[in-house]
Amino acid sequence: EVKLEESGGGLVQPGGSMKLSCVASGFTFSNYWMNWVRQSPEKGLEWVAEIRLKSNNYATHYAESVKGRFTISRDDSKSSVYLQMNNLRAEDTGIYYCTRCNSYAMDYWGQGTSVTVSS
Amino acid sequence: DIQMTQTTSSLSASLGDRVTISCRASQDISNYLNWYQQKPDGTVKLLIYYTSRLHSGVPSRFSGSGSGTDYSLTISNLEQEDIATYFCQQGNTLPPWTFGGGTKLEIK
């Protein structure tokens, strides 16, 4: 059974940092692109970042809204993907989902972890 | 970036009804259109990918169609467990992945 489990969310002050983690199980993690997607009432579902495979030199891509502030990374030996978030803003508040990419779709999603940026 | 539009933000239907949810892309996405279901507890699942291909474990009462810029998701014989919000997403021009605003389905 494919499982994705996020952790690391919580409350952080504006300008602060936070690192989200996602542990995968039930499949060969190193064979799949991974993404982070967030959801807020204001913006709905918003793609945040993507990381590809070792064969793609672990290429990364980011939404314009987070470029320069967020960093996605992966550790295939731990079946994990991470999202380092720096210089957080109120508009980064939301539920953050880890997703697996397959055939140009996000075929599995984690349960989400909540991030609140507020003073 | 490709914009995805779901013009119906909420929809009310009766159990057993046939329901159709629409999605429009701002340009031709060559059938790379996916549908997701989000339950009230936040759980998100892939239902359909590449316009009409059913994801593993998805009931056959769900189906998808469309081409070019216009796509739809149909639920035949609506069941209580189908109460959820449905999102479309394009997978043609990446990045960025872009989503529609969602259609919330309620029971009449």
On whether any CB of chain B is under 8 Å from the CB of A23, the answer is: no
Contact between A20 and A6 under an 8 Å Cβ cutoff? The reply is yes
Task: Please state, in angstroms and as integers, the Cα–Cα distance from residue A6 to each residue in A3, A60, A92, A100, B1, following that order.
Answer: 10, 19, 17, 12, 28
On whether any CB of chain B is under 8 Å from the CB of A6, the answer is: no
A106 vs B43, B46, B95: nearest CB: B46
pLDDT digits (tens, 9 = 90+) for A89-118: 999 999 999 999 998 999 999 999 999 999
Contact B42 A112 (CB under 8 A): yes
Q: Please, what sign has the CA dihedral across residues B46, B97, B65, B83?
A: positive
Task: Please state, in angstroms and as integers, the Cα–Cα distance from residue B108 to each residue in B14, B37, B103, following that order.
Answer: 5, 19, 15
Single-letter amino acid code for the residue at B64 = G
Q: A97 to chain B: which residues are within 8 Å by CB?
A: 44
On whether any CB of chain B is under 8 Å from the CB of A104, the answer is: yes
Percent of chain A with pLDDT over 70: 100
Single-letter amino acid code for the residue at A82 = Y
Q: Which residues of B touch A (CB under 8 A)?
A: 32, 34, 36, 42-46, 49-50, 55, 87, 89, 91-92, 94-99, 101-102
B44 vs A35, A64, A97: nearest CB: A97
Shortest alpha-carbon distance between residue B95 and chain A (Å): 7
pLDDT digits (tens, 9 = 90+) for A54-82: 999 999 999 999 999 999 999 999 999 99
pLDDT digits (tens, 9 = 90+) for B28-56: 999 999 999 999 999 999 999 999 999 99
Strands A113-117 and A10-12: parallel
Low-confidence ranges of chain B (pLDDT < 70): none
